[in-house]
Structure 1
């Protein structure tokens, strides 16, 4: 039996998220369908996590088992011939049978993109949250610093989040300005449902002067979702990469 690890890129606009569900077409469903076509049998994927409807990925990790003696390039080039233009396998490699793409992950990198432009951009409409007002990036960076470390992020998750614990560790939150684009890069050991989007929504409120930077520290202690910021739109969010210890991959 072989255990194949795929790194998948997708533009999530047309999908109801990553994970298979009854209320819409999902990325997982499409990739599993392509695998079934290529391998001639139903094949289930285990992934590093999930993304919501409209969220994108450059580095979603998913694994499956197969007894097919195909070269690794077939799991990339071959699968891509069966996938639509908005989904692609970027990498395929063989990993130990014990490898678990979710529990073995050491950290994840999410990027949220904001377009700072008073005029709408048709080309950016699916990949960035457009904000026409000026943002105070200094205040946003001061607020973002409060997220770093181990905290209870109960105030920064969706009301229907089913996670058993709300404690997570954030390693870094960086704001990168590139012309009219603002990228918010968040690295952590794990994330709750909508966590990055609520963090970004809160930072934007700081940038607009609607709350002071130190408010983030108070929200982490209060643990009350009702008083934290708005949930930023899904289309600005992208899962960039999932990191694993080297010994789990060999």
Structure 2
């Protein structure tokens, strides 16, 4: 048996998240169907991070085991032949048996793209969140600073979350304005179900002046989901992907990275 890792980009608008469900309307269902057609047998995949309905991915990493012998470029081209236009394999690597897309990841990153405009988006529909009230970047950065470090993030955890522990380490949150758009970047050891969207709801409440930055400290300490802001829209959320030990040699980016607003081009 050979273990194979793939990097995947997708637009999540048409799918009910990553994880396979009855009816087959998920990214995992589409990917496994395409792999089965290419390899002529069923293959089960394990991903680095399960995305929700409507959430996109730039470099989702998955692995599977197979006895089928193909070179890496064939896995990319052959699988893409059977995938819909909004899902594409970006790279393939053969990995050691001990590799696990989820468990050996050192961390994960998400980006949220938010349009600030008095008029709703059109071209960006499904690809960016939207607020019509002005946002205060400094207030949001001050609020985000209290989230850095190891914390119990129960206040930002959905009721459906299956994680064994709510304790995660937030390594970095960066907030930049890029013209009419805001880029929120989250880097953590792992994330709870709906955690980024719940954090976004709180940061936007602070940015719009409905709450103070100190309020987020109180919400975090209370560990009570009822005290936090409502879950923010999924449309602007991108799973940037996991990152691993450099010795594994797995790509940490795809061409789609250059499509999003870049931090070095923002303020």
Q: Does 1:26 align with 2:26?
A: yes
Tell me the residue number matched to 2:138: 138
Match of 1:40 in 2: 40
Q: How do residues 191-230 of structure 1 correspond to structure 2 at under 5 angstroms? A: 191-230=191-230
Aligned runs of 1:65-144 on 2, under 5 Å? Answer: 65-144=65-144
* 1:15 pairs with 2:28: no
Once the two structures are superposed, residues 98-121 of structure 1 have per-residue CA deviations (whole angstroms, 9 ceiling, x without a partner) of: 101111010111001100111122
Q: Distance in 2 between matches of 1:72 and 1:2?
A: 12
Closer, same or farther: CA 2–24 of 1 in aligned 2, 3 Å? closer
Q: Deviations over 1:219-249 (max 9, x none)?
A: 1110010011121111111001210113456
Instruction: Report the counterpart of residue 61 of structure 2 in structure 1.
Output: 61
Give unpaired runs (5+ residues) of structure 1. none
Q: Say how many residue pairs are matched.
A: 250
Q: Is the CA contact 2:24–2:30 (under 8 Å) kept in the aligned structure 1?
A: no
Is residue 96–residue 248 contact of structure 1 (8 Å, CA) maintained in 2?
A: no
Give the whole-Å Cα distance in 1 for the aligned partners of 2:42 and 2:190.
30
SS at match of 1:144: helix
Residue of structure 1 equivalent to 2:238: 238
**Equivalent position of 1:151 in the other structure:** 151
Distance 1:41 1:245 in 2: 31
SS at match of 1:29: helix
Q: Give the 3-state SS of the residue equivalent to 2:142 in structure 1.
A: helix
The residue that corresponds to 1:185 in the other structure is 185
RMSD, aligned CA: 1.2
The gaps in structure 2 that reach 5 residues or longer are 251-267
Residue of structure 2 in register with 1:50 after alignment: 50
